[in-house]
Amino acid sequence: MTERSFVAIKPDGVERKLTGEIIKRIEQKGFKMVAMKFIKPSQELAEEHYGEHKEKPFYKGLVEFITSGPVVAMVWEGKDVIATIRKMVGVTDPLKSDPGTIRGDFGISIGRNIIHASDKLESAKKEISLWFSQDELVEYTPTLDKWIYEN
Ligand code: GDP
Ligand code: MG
């Protein structure tokens, strides 16, 4: 099976009506959506998702922020999808993100950087199983794939 990445549009991205724009970019790149849900994350889910940052000074605010409103949680599949979506997202600080990236085009503050995307295979696996159950991951073969992949 090809690689999968977990992507979430954070509450600021949803409030700012960037959901369609972000999905459009990933879809038009050629990646395949495998799952999507619109949820207000629980405290427990948020703490687990950002567990690696538990000791950081911004952790409490980050968890408060991510639980403050609805999030669009998604799984995307495709060749090199993890590294490629990270490039499309831009670096963590939107003021340092290149123009053309999601954070570079739409954000200013590090604590309001619009989107989360898995950074490596191991985190993608962990995040996908944290946010989605196995039966929410939809299996299908897009007919357009032969126009996106050479083989
Ligand atoms: P990401 O993988 O690019 O999202 O960045 P990290 O995994 O390093 O951090 C997770 C999230 O914590 C980031 O997307 C930011 O929203 C937030 N964050 C990271 N560093 C800082 C910081 O220095 N200050 C604040 N306020 N938030 C931060
Ligand atoms: Mg990260």
The proportion of the chain whose per-residue pLDDT surpasses 70, expressed as a percent, equals: 99
pLDDT in tens, 74-105: 999 999 999 999 999 999 999 999 999 999 99
Say whether 103 counts as a known binding-site residue: yes
How does the average pLDDT of the chain come out, rounded? 97
Question: Which residues approach ligand 1 with their CB closer than 6 A?
Answer: 53, 58, 61-62, 92, 110-111, 113, 116, 119
Whether the predicted pLDDT of 33 surpasses 80:
yes
Which residue has the CA at smallest separation from atom 17 of ligand 1? 111
Instruction: List all residues 6 or more positions away from 26 whose beta carbon is below 8 Å from its beta carbon.
Output: 7, 33, 76, 85, 88
pTM (two decimals): 0.97
pLDDT in tens, 141-150: 999 999 999 9
Active-site pick, 18, 116, 117, 127: 116
Q: Is the dihedral of CA 115, 120, 124, 130 positive or negative?
A: negative
Alpha carbon distance 107, 118 (integer Å): 19
- C-alpha pair distances (Å), 12 with each of 4, 66, 111, 135: 24, 9, 10, 29
pLDDT, residue 1, reads 61
pLDDT, residue 128, reads 98
Say whether 58 counts as a known binding-site residue: yes
Whether the predicted pLDDT of 126 surpasses 70:
yes
Contact 53, 62 (CB under 8 A): yes
Average pLDDT of the residues in 13-22: 98
